[in-house]
Structure 1
Amino acid sequence: MAFKVIALATLLAVTLARPQNTPAYGYGATTPASGPAKYDFNYAVNDPPSGNDFGHQEARDGPNTQGSYYVLLPDGRLQRVTYTVNGDSGYVAEVTYEGEAQYPSTPRPYTPAPKYA
């Protein structure tokens, strides 16, 4: 008899613990946050002591995106990539290089990065 009472109490507890308001998953109406994307951004870094010189700019209006980015390469050239994306056409890029590659007459010796405790 005790087993039946424990089993009934367990079933009652499980039934009462079941969530009543389960969320409905799906897609709702378009909200301003989920509408067509529209943005414009850019950034640039130019730090001569470290040799870092790079940047990026991009603008998007709905399915159309255009932008460019550049980086100063170790050989002294500036690599620039200009790109567009128009709808489903895919990523179309044009890569150009500015300057002439310069190589040192003697390679620089390897210097390991400092270790901090």
Structure 2
Amino acid sequence: MKSRIETDGYGRKKVIDACMEPCAIERGMRIIGGKWTGSLIYHLKDGPVRFNDLNRMLGGATKKMIDQRLKELEARGMVLRTVINDRPIAVTYELTELGRSALDILEDLRLWSEKYNIR
């Protein structure tokens, strides 16, 4: 449904027929647009990575933030978590097929950012 803007008798603008559901771009951005999410996906592109290695790769992200983002990605079916050792606990994370499908989008974003020197 396409929305339109109307102005009432007092000059106030009002959106008519606005979509109540988020559009496809907004839904996609909710998944890969979160802080550190795109970077996590990018760093998992070459195969399984251990949590502490991801922490080093992301530099400015806290362990708590990385853990939250990984749990979100796992819940959405984009990342697979595998326990490789119980004592001490060691886990790896890797992209699922769905997670890998986001790599093309992130690569296009990287190229666009470099082309226009976005800071």
TM over 0.5: no
TM range (shorter): under 0.3
TM-score w.r.t. the length of structure 2 is: 0.23
Structure having the larger proportion of residues in strand: 1
